[in-house]
Structure 1
Amino acid sequence: MIQASRENTVTLEVVNREELTKFKKDLQEAFAVAVVETFGSKLDKPIPSDEDLEKSFNADGAVVYHILSNGKKTGGVVLIINAITQHNSLDFFFISVAEHSRGIGLKAWKAIEEKYIETKVWETHTPYFEKRNIHFYVNKCGFQIVEYFNKHHSDPHATSDEDFPGGEDFFRFEKVMKQ
């Protein structure tokens, strides 16, 4: 018997204030997987820190979304939207590990671009060891690596995660949108 494949519809839904605690926990669990896979150890504290997430959630222009696949919560995103300059930031982006490799992340990114069509430049960061993220941003979404932060070239906007596994080695990405 042949079954028709069901198209995966990906949408965004604003996270309500009362959902932020669970959203934060889900995001931290998703981020922890790559750290454990890369460094082989459990984390002593959540990454990103509660403090960094709260800072992002409460930043000017912050918008927090659930990513839904066919109506099911499968991830989330924190954006910082600057309505004046339209230089916007992708602060945090995650897909639940159980949902990886199903095309949800790319569809979610396309939904974000469609929602914020006026954006001139998108910016994001990822640790150097996050090969999956680097592949996703560069090869799937069209970002370019524009800066490499390390002990010789510090990020002027570094977070409080000073003992983040891998240290201060991060890539900064940009995607210049066609206007």
Structure 2
Amino acid sequence: MNTALVVMGVSGSGKSTVGAALAQRLRVPFADADDFHPPANIAKMSGGHALDDDDRYPWLETIGQWLTAHSDGGVMSCSALKHKYRDQLRAHCPTVRFVYLSGSPEVIGRRQASRPGHFMPPALLASQFETLEPLGPDEQGYEINIDQSIDKIVETYIVAAGVDPSITEEN
């Protein structure tokens, strides 16, 4: 692997789980963008309010810096819902690729409901889908449906990206 990956999608799509599994399979570092949110963002979301672009800008800058530091291989889970957010990340790491985890609101809603105590309340899921701009034809990445096992999602990426099998084999 010679670039950073961002596993993206709405809250509850499995970004953290898939990202960690993908990083383990690729033998590269993993980070969760949720861990980069400043306390004010967490408080806002916990209070049932969606973040706006002003809230996201400094958060995305920090994520972009992590991607730059891991531009030769690393996986970050990050919503990256809008094209302009992904542009902001690409400004830091032009070679970044995206893995967009897509799924229906019903499937993701069920998953999100099974995460008690997460700072992103299920009530904000609709705002996530309203904000979501799927990958455009000008963006390097892959769309993978989440209605399958984590292992199958990871394998789908490995095959689609043409990852050298020797990288992912156990020694």
Question: Which category describes the TM-score, using the shorter chain as reference length?
Answer: 0.3 to 0.5
Larger Rg belongs to? 1
Q: TM-score, with normalisation over the residues of structure 2? A: 0.32
Q: Which structure has greater helix proportion? A: 2
Which structure has more relative contact order (CA 8 Å, sep 6+)? It is 2
Q: Which structure has greater strand proportion? A: 1
Q: TM-score, with normalisation over the residues of structure 1? A: 0.31
